[in-house]
Structure 1
């Protein structure tokens, strides 16, 4: 078993609450060289990670404190600490996986229901065909006409099923706007139009500010209400913008609390206007928190969005879908760094 031994140290620049962090770790017996101090500083810094829920931050800090109190800096303790930390960090991934599995289960159930219904329709068609032959006697023309009508009804119903299934696989079940699959397909179409016809397109990436904190405060059920409302406001703003500018506005849920808007044929200045319209509509909306029975818990809740806008650029010279997503993402995170609740435009070489 290997133990790191602390050598002498003459300089420390990091401090917290008036005390050098290095001195604090000295008191806790943390080895001065090797991986332990790096891990301690890394886990301590997770308090600032906005993507982590408050309970995850608290569990990580408790884990770190308990480790420092035990003063067990063996290899076994290090590996155990890493494993426990990863288990806490993967908590949100497991939640997303569970949600995805539930969505898949719903789709399978709906598909099964459709197939059962069509099986009944086909059986009914067979029964009606036999009845026609038995009752209509030798009038073959009438029999054939009625059988064709029955087949047409079943075929039309199956066509409707196919359209419904296609829509189900392209729609986010929570917000009822385009899902990630539909987003990828539409973005690929826009990139193809740019490559083949020179038709410009822009992309807006939007993220709800401090949504982790909102979820921690009000719970995931209320968080879902907020996502549904933001998506509805996004659609509403999109309809107005598309009508005024005679263009297409395609909103999608990109993932989690992040949304996207694809704007085929729209240049960056107009896309900036569209993003500002969306932010203004969400900013002005008075969110009402309701309990499971529909009763009002709290009024006057305000949410804001940060947004990044990018237009496809000829100098990218290929791989336009990935490039424009990266560009809009960079602009969005620039908006967050500059205070949130704002829109930033991607400028090549400026990020």
Structure 2
């Protein structure tokens, strides 16, 4: 018997130590923290705050500047990077403190989530309370959390020397990794809440639906990173055309789907209806299987999300609307995971 899992031939004493419901509730708490962090990350991006902290100090960085001298030191570090020199030259210390707050809060949440995952995991491990088969999965999620921290710095580092912002590609990697961890944690918690803590296989329809949603989320990150939401603030047309024919076109062709703000906004606009189709298929399938509440949740969130996307454009990327749009995207992912898990329970492969 290992310290992380119960053996296949469980004794009554071993079974009494397993705490699947307690572990599930803990994981749902961690998922809630990740949700908050993604929302704060959206605010950080929309307020152009992400480059305000120019060093990566995983431990000592948890303590913010406390004296005037420390604040001036942080401000001087920021004044060395291209974003300040080319865009924010003349910014006051008070203005710097405003953008510093959001990046600091985002990083602090990352540290809190790391501790909120690692310390209870260690406790459950020592108590031998982790059901059979879940130890490796939980350790992998812990590892992914550490990788995500490194990805976050890799993203920030892209904007410290030559660029005036972070790489939108690295931003997309950072966001998608966070959402993968979020989805995996929710799925694991749902497994643990199943009778006997049975592990379920992700249904094929659920995989396709989540894949389409992930593609849309990637383009959403491209839109945010390229400030593509400001390119056209009309809907359904971009100006007076479906796609502006006078818009610049990059070479080679495929580069437009990554680096051209107008093309990226166009794809993000209309791929939303591909996600809508996937959501409807998933919702109908789970409803037929008996999951009426999960079906209703998916329908409600996909409709809300599309309306918020349109509102984000029409308001010229209003901060509150755009942040709500990102928050509902995370909830939509959770609803896809929930519906897929319900489908796996009701119609096991």
The TM-score with structure 2 as length reference comes to 0.27
Q: Which has the higher contact order (CA 8 A, sep 6+)?
A: 2
Q: As a proportion of its length, which structure holds more strand?
A: 1
The TM-score with structure 1 as length reference comes to 0.27
